[in-house]
């Protein structure tokens, strides 16, 4: 499976979404039927295929696609014909999920080391509110994040933040308008996928104390277009809220929320009402909560 952004990849995803919608079947039920047929595939993989972020590659994936055609009442070849010739060249790059691959775990540790920042095992995420503004081109222009955190032991004077780019790049996102702290250090990993910053708090907190900070993340020219917003937390959080606001001239064709933990991967298609969509969870974590969207031609 590899990332695809060409016409074939978009046509495949659009046809798959339409077939699932017309059949009235959930992605979870479809996944169970495929597994029962001897076509093992994860919910995450199906979700990425449906969103168009990636498309099937290799013999095993093509077998799954044929199973999809059967269970969705489609003619054989109806989906596979939309994949393009590269799908028959065998496996290429592996799928990539936030904080779920060996490379990203390793590079996260390397980035924290370069930033001289320890992992935040003494920090509790009480409330995080993320507001994303999508531009006319359908990509995120800026993200404002407000977070209430608590020290569970010792003293905390700074907070590291890790960003995972959609694809490898030598351009970092920019953190500005920090309230409750300041950007003290930043680092772009040589691999081009991860970067990080350290926010030094205005006032260090000790066991039981809380602090509230806010910042805005912007994506300068050259940064790969981002059509997703997500928040990762390493322990249960009281409240996690993600709100995506679309440009009035760029409502998405489709929108999907996803929730990934060590035990499951759950997705749900969402409608965009009045130019915005949000997802809220209480007691969520550890895991990744996000919203992604796209545009059919």
Q: What is the CATH number of the domain that holds 165?
A: 2.60.40
Q: What is the pLDDT of residue 133?
A: 98
| Upstream peptide bond of 286 is cis (omega within 30 degrees of 0) | yes
pLDDT class of 84 with cuts at 50, 70, 90: low
Q: State whether 146 and 255 are in the same domain.
A: yes
Q: How far apart are CA 231 and CA 293, in angstroms?
A: 16
Residue 97 above 70 pLDDT?
no
pLDDT score for 85:
53
146 and 290, same domain (yes or no) = yes
Residue 177 sits in the same domain as residue 250: yes
Regarding whether 250 and 168 lie in a shared domain, the answer is: yes
Worst-scoring range by mean pLDDT, 84-88, 116-120, 170-174, 202-206?
Answer: 84-88
Our measurement of the distance from residue 174's CA atom to the centroid of its chain's CA atoms, rounded to an integer in Å, reads: 19
Which CATH number goes with the domain that contains 73?
A: 1.10.260
Residue 3 has pLDDT above 50, yes or no: no
The answer to the question of residue 77 being in a domain is yes
Contact present, 186 and 142 (Cβ < 8 Å): no
Q: How confident is the model at residue 89 (pLDDT cuts 50, 70, 90)?
A: very low
Instruction: Identify the domain containing residue 237 by its residue range.
Output: 114-294
- Give yes or no: residues 28 and 64 share one domain: yes
Lowest mean pLDDT among 13-27, 37-51, 93-107, 193-207: 93-107
Report how far residue 248's alpha carbon sits from residue 272's, in angstroms, rounded to the nearest whole number: 11
Domain-embedded: residue 101: no
Residue 99, domain member (yes or no): no
The answer as to whether 258 is a domain residue is yes
Domain boundary pick from 54, 88, 122: 88
**pLDDT, tens digit, 9 for 90 and up, residues 258-287:** 998 877 788 888 999 899 999 999 999 888
State the chain's mean pLDDT as an integer: 86
Task: Express each pLDDT in 196-249 by its tens digit.
Answer: 999 999 999 999 999 999 999 999 999 999 999 999 888 889 999 999 999 999
State the total domains in the chain.
2
pLDDT on residue 86: 46
Minimal CA–CA distance to 252: which of 166, 137, 167, 141? 137
> Band of the pLDDT at 32, cuts 50, 70, 90?
confident
DSSP H/E element including 162: strand 155-164
Residues 166 and 269 in one domain: yes
137 and 38 together in one domain:
no
Please report which residue ranges of the chain form alpha helices under DSSP H.
7-23, 27-36, 43-51, 59-71, 102-114
4 pLDDT above the threshold of 70 = no
Q: Is 18 part of a structural domain of the chain?
A: yes
Does 74 reside within a domain? yes
Residue 105 lies in a domain: no
The reply to whether 106 falls in a domain is no
């Amino acid at each position: 499976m590899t990332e695809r952004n060409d016409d074939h990849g978009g046509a495949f995803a659009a046809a798959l979404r339409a077939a699932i919608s017309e059949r009235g079947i959930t992605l979870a039920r479809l996944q169970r039927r495929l597994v029962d047929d001897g076509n093992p595939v994860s919910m995450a993989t199906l979700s990425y295929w449906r969103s168009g972020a990636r498309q099937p590659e290799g013999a095993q994936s093509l077998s799954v696609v044929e199973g999809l055609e059967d269970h969705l009442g489609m003619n054989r070849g109806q989906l596979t014909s939309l994949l393009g010739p590269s799908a028959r060249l065998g496996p290429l790059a592996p799928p990539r999920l936030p904080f779920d691959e060996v490379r990203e775990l390793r590079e996260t540790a390397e980035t924290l080391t370069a930033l001289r920042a320890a992992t935040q095992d003494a920090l509790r995420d009480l409330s995080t509110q993320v507001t994303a503004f999508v531009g006319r081109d359908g990509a995120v222009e800026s993200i404002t994040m407000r977070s209430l955190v608590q020290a569970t032991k010792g003293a905390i004077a700074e907070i590291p933040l890790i960003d995972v780019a959609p694809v490898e790049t030598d351009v970092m996102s920019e953190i500005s308008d920090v309230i409750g702290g300041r950007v003290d250090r930043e680092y772009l990993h040589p691999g081009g996928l991860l970067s990080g910053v350290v926010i030094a708090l205005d006032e260090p907190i000790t066991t039981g104390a809380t602090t509230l900070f806010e910042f805005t993340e912007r994506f300068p020219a050259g940064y790969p277009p981002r059509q997703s917003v997500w928040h990762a937390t390493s322990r249960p959080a009281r409240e996690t809220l993600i709100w995506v606001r679309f440009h009035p001239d760029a409502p998405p064709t489709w929108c999907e929320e996803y929730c990934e933990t060590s035990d499951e991967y759950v997705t749900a298609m969402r409608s965009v009402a009045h130019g915005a969509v949000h997802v809220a969870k209480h007691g969520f974590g550890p895991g990744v909560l996000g919203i992604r969207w796209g545009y059919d031609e």
